[in-house]
Amino acid sequence: MTKAAKVEKHPRSGTRQLIDDMLTQRTRMLKLLCDLSQQDLMQADEAVRETLDDFLTVLVDYIAAGHFGLYERIAMGSERRTPVVDTAREIYPRIADTTVAAVEFNERYGNASGDALAQHLTRDLSTLGEEVTTRIELEDRLIQAMLGSDYASMQATATAH
């Protein structure tokens, strides 16, 4: 059975699709974050700039997938399950902080010169990595509240591949 067919059978296929999209962007972002962190950031050469540009694009896509997909659905009142709404209310202020950190990082390094990259990128990337880690932990709590046991099986399937 195809992934699309499985999604169609799920009783909350719209929610599941939003989550799948966000998780796809998250995976892409984490791969690029890892790629970037393995480069010599003190040497702001063309390879670093290219990886950084790719990372920034995917970072913004990932943040937008959560903000304009998953969180917007809850904020607009489309979610009626109390445990999901309660979890969202609890974690959203901290999620918003991570969004601000990502946007600020994007603005700082979107057009940064080689000198600015060499001076601060390593430290700022580490700080952003901590924010991303926090965001992922909080998102996972929300996804677990939304999908329950389906999320555990979804993670097991993703890990197996």
Task: Encode 13-37: b = buried (16+ Cβ within 10 Å), e = exposed.
Answer: eebbebbbbbbebbebbbebbeebe
The torsion region of residue 113 among left (phi > 0), alpha (psi -120 to 50) and beta comes to beta
User: Is 13-156 assigned to CATH 3.40.640.10?
Assistant: no
- Return the pLDDT at 149: 66
- Return the pLDDT at 1: 46
Tell me which amino acid residue 44 is. Answer: A
Cα–Cα distance for residue pair 119/121, rounded to 1 Å? 6
> What average pLDDT values come out for the chain (161 residues) when binned by 10 residues?
48 77 95 95 88 97 87 80 91 94 96 84 95 97 85 52 52
Domain ranges in the chain are 13-156
The torsion region of residue 81 among left (phi > 0), alpha (psi -120 to 50) and beta comes to beta
Q: DSSP of 105-132, one letter per residue?
A: HHHHHSS--HHHHHHHHHHHHHHHHHHH
